[in-house]
Structure 1
């Protein structure tokens, strides 16, 4: 494992400067300088079948944002950007979100998962591997292993909700942590998520993940509101009522399932807002969703 470790846990330690995010108050964000150390971890051994991207930049990895504060036991959140399982929206649904969490002293990691030509279970295996690596390296990163969450936007929300509801669905043979380290998140955060592959589902995500002639059994399995159980972690969701790409019914289905199984859940539906808004910094009415999220995380 020593050579393997050198290959796929390739670190790029650097300071990304000072962050100025603080959305907990009202009005304009207050400046809150905080140094953040950024590190890249590749998920799989270079050259393995799980590490054969179309382009070098598409190697499965996580970019970890480590707030440089005194705490040694902090929550951590794996962020899964959207992109319809065809691309990775790593900026407005990844980097900016990770910076927001880091400004609040939360460790975060942006997941670059396999997509486009890589169908199920490749993205799921990448997400589970990332969760296990974060949990395995908890002492190194100052992570509380009982406070490891997962977050996803759009198709990334589908990926996050799959891991949250079905953390044991598939164990990749190349994942040496699969038998010893849990991938189950302790909380799940979903922004305008793809939840169902049935009515109201986003067919582009379904086709990219499963193919146009998908097995109906798998379509059912990956309609994640149907997989919620009493063991599903507490959930936070936000959506817009007029989302024309991923209808709000996706979030409503998931929330209804949580309520039925007595899973703690918080939902915020805003009247208007295009799909893929991310933190919505230019929308005064919608951008408060991140304040709501930070309030939900405050007692964690």
Structure 2
């Protein structure tokens, strides 16, 4: 068991240790020591393993890798930024669940436990850039194409992913950004240029964070000639993850992988 996984178990109430065990990938710190967060296993909606962990009080960032089998590797890599309202990091529903799913489809996935600190803060965006650079530095050993290392963020994580694409150095600049029901940074569409990375959006119209904000950024990207895609669903609310309640929103992960494959082709 990794040190972070052990910390997670030790932080849970005694009764909670009877949940089915899932072997988390080894956690690697991006800076400083491994985080020692406060852990809560939230009641709903838990995955098949009985997990819906929420980490708070994260003071140093770390990544956990879900690597595909050699026979399936596509060369693409995604750094996943879970949501959590800027004060927490929801590592299962919007992290490891997607990481395992992507790895089974040939995409290397890295769940980022970014620093929390409430709203507003730029720590998540800083940690996202550092994670992209960290993956690129190790790309050869994992058979990852350094030109195909991007970010995928949910909710607050989507906010950080979008912010990370602005003004990043070459090593930390994401090759693409996927934002799933993101909290879009204010005025973001006005700052889109032809140098912005390709982007993918999934958002429900009945989300409390307006889907129109995602649509506005998508339209600005198209106007700037940046290859992007948006899936705007009539229903689904906020926090649907990979589609835990079913319905049309559950189709977005397949659509994302299909978009990622076309992104790797020549324009």
Q: TM-score, normalised by structure 1?
A: 0.69
Paired residues of 1:240 and 1:270 also in contact (CA < 8 A): yes
Structure 1 stretches lacking a partner, 5+ long: 1-10, 15-35, 169-180, 198-222
Q: Which structure has the larger Rg?
A: 1
The 5 A counterparts of 1:7-22 are: none
Q: Deviations over 1:83-124 (max 9, x none)?
A: 121111111111111111101111110110011369633222
Distance in 2 (alpha carbons) for counterparts of 1:94 and 1:110: 6
1:115 aligns with 2:102: no
Distance in 1 (alpha carbons) for counterparts of 2:38 and 2:119: 13
Coordinate RMSD, CA, aligned: 2.7
- TM-superposed deviation, 1:127: 1.2
Distance in 2 (alpha carbons) for counterparts of 1:71 and 1:138: 16
The 5 A counterparts of 1:98-113 are: 98-113=99-114
Residue 224 of structure 1 aligns with which residue?
188
CA gap 1:73/1:99 in 2 versus in 1, 3 angstroms? closer
> Relative to total residues, which structure has the larger helix share, 1 or 2?
2
Give the length in aligned residue pairs. Answer: 227
Distance in 1 (alpha carbons) for counterparts of 2:220 and 2:97: 30
Distance in 1 (alpha carbons) for counterparts of 2:109 and 2:152: 10
Structure 2 stretches lacking a partner, 5+ long: 6-22, 40-54
- TM-superposed deviation, 1:130: 0.8
Selected match of 2:27 from 31, 37, 40? 40
CA gap 1:105/1:52 in 2 versus in 1, 3 angstroms? closer
Distance in 2 (alpha carbons) for counterparts of 1:53 and 1:138: 27
Q: Which structure carries more relative contact order (alpha carbon 8 Å, separation 6+)?
A: 1
Q: TM-score, normalised by structure 2?
A: 0.77
